[in-house]
Chains A and B, each alone.
Chain A
């Protein structure tokens, strides 16, 4: 006798590959790259408010960028696209990072109020800085690796607000053009890391649907080649 752990028959790598597509800032670039790679994105570009778009070989599932690692790690989506900032912040998610797609380029920075020395002053007089951020883990790792102590304050919304009204000495945030910082009288003090869109895969799907994933990776590589 044997243990019927699972049936390849019933649970065959079935149906189209599920690809998690990030909504928001990365959406336009993602759809362009997918088009170039031969994936039909017309339905996502349409007016529909649905979240799942079944296709021939690939089903597109749209979600918040920060949810992509969660869905891909669990295998609910086989592959996905999200920003490196999300992957760094959720470094404990076990997903395979297969490709740097190159678009959606932005910088994770430490910023403070223009002409304001409270970052340095807190560091000198209190021994630590108070940093408001949506990326507490990236911030903590960065300051730890540069030998400084910080108190990170996690906020969910517009983080630029925090130092302006006295919540923290500075912020760690993602900057694309720098306009939002400028408009809020903030300036970049240090650059932490550059982030672009990445193609990720579930570790089991990467093994069991190797051919499909390799083909898609190759097409995406071609579509994003400089």
Chain B
């Protein structure tokens, strides 16, 4: 007899579990050898605590009342619970603090798309280390020796639009187009915001710049104070990555925007050429801990473990002679 489970959830059977466990152990070992201590937090928290992180984008899709009538929520990522944990448990710690996790989180899914409501993430959080050293360290700690990493700047367009005096709804519409990378729509929105044709071209061209260090020079040639600041920040991070000898795996990408509202400065995404999906991502979230009462810079990074597993399988398939 078949008893259903909710769409977007799944059972894991021994063959897959064995491989997943191997992956889990390898991940945690990498994090631990780099001095990141593993933590676990409850899957359910008070809704108002999680909403502090970023009510708009990180809000939980699953909320319910407990026996006392308090509103609880299932976490939608681990960064916000760890910010809560650091503020309550490590207020007097010596900085920087290095934590890692391997945990399930929960998100709403769109119907018929094979998306998972419950998914496993492995990640690191480095608290109290400013950019760029902190960003570089988290990248290194993720142990991504072979994947390709996109490096962008979350503040670039916010500052650029302020510089161009675009505000309110027009600003939101433009950022939305940038996030979804709808270049046709972006051009329309920029023009409607009253920008000159030349400024429109600049913004669109900027979002298409991606590649190695040369991208920073190309961006600088486009000009403007916001671009100058962003390229300076990116240049510093990139320089530190070069020193560690990992720069060749990093693509600077000025079109990169992540949808989580708490990012500031450097943002990262991990790609695998074998699959068309993003394996994970992260970045700096210097303002997040302040919302929990301690004002410290921070950076973090998480990988979707199921996708990493898929990528590993694709890899081994390609390596086998067919």
Contacts and interface: CB of A to CB of B under 8 A. Distances in A.
Contacts of A7: 146, 315, 319
A203 interface: yes
Contact of B210 (A74, A94, A98, A210): A210
A5 B146 contact: yes
A201 to B, nearest CB: 8
Contacts of A14: 273
Interface in B125-158: 143-148, 150
Instruction: Tell me whether chain B's interface is mostly helix, strand or loop, or mixed.
Output: mixed
B275 A2 contact: no
B110 A92 contact: yes
Contacts of A211: 211
Contacts of B27: 3
A112 B90 CA distance: 66
Contacts of B271: 204, 207-208
Given A5-B145, A8-B148, A10-B318, A210 B211 contact: yes
A134 B90 CA distance: 56
Interface stretch (B68-76, B79-87, B166-174, B176-184): B176-184
Interface of A: 1-14, 73-76, 92, 94, 96-100, 198, 202-208, 210-211, 214
B3 interface: no
Given A1-B29, A10-B318, A98-B183, A208 B144 contact: no
Contacts of B159: none
B26 interface: yes
Given A4-B312, A75-B275, 14 more contacts: A1-B143, A3-B30, A3-B143, A5-B144, A5-B272, A6-B273, A8-B273, A11-B314, A92-B110, A97-B181, A204-B272, A205-B276, A210-B210, A210-B251
A217 to B, nearest CB: 8
B311 A6 contact: yes
Contacts of A1: 26, 29-30, 33, 143
A3 to B, nearest CB: 5
Given A5-B145, A5-B146, A203 B278 contact: yes
Contact of B147 (A5, A96, A206): A5
Contact of B273 (A12, A96, A198): A12
Nearest to B270: A5
Nearest to B249: A8
Contacts of B110: 92
A6 B311 CA distance: 6
B202 to A, nearest CB: 17
B64 to A, nearest CB: 26
B23 interface: yes
B184 A97 contact: yes
A11 B276 contact: no
22 contacts: A1-B30, A3-B144, A4-B315, A5-B146, A5-B279, A5-B303, A6-B272, A8-B273, A10-B274, A10-B318, A11-B273, A11-B274, A73-B276, A75-B276, A76-B276, A92-B113, A96-B181, A97-B184, A97-B185, A99-B183, A207-B210, A210-B251
Nearest to A101: B184
Contact of A97 (B146, B147, B183, B318): B183
A2 B276 contact: no
Q: Among the interface residues A1, A6, A202, which one has the most CB atoms of the partner chain B within 10 A?
A: A6
Interface string B41-60: 00000000000000000000
B184 A198 contact: yes
Contact of B272 (A2, A11, A99, A202): A11
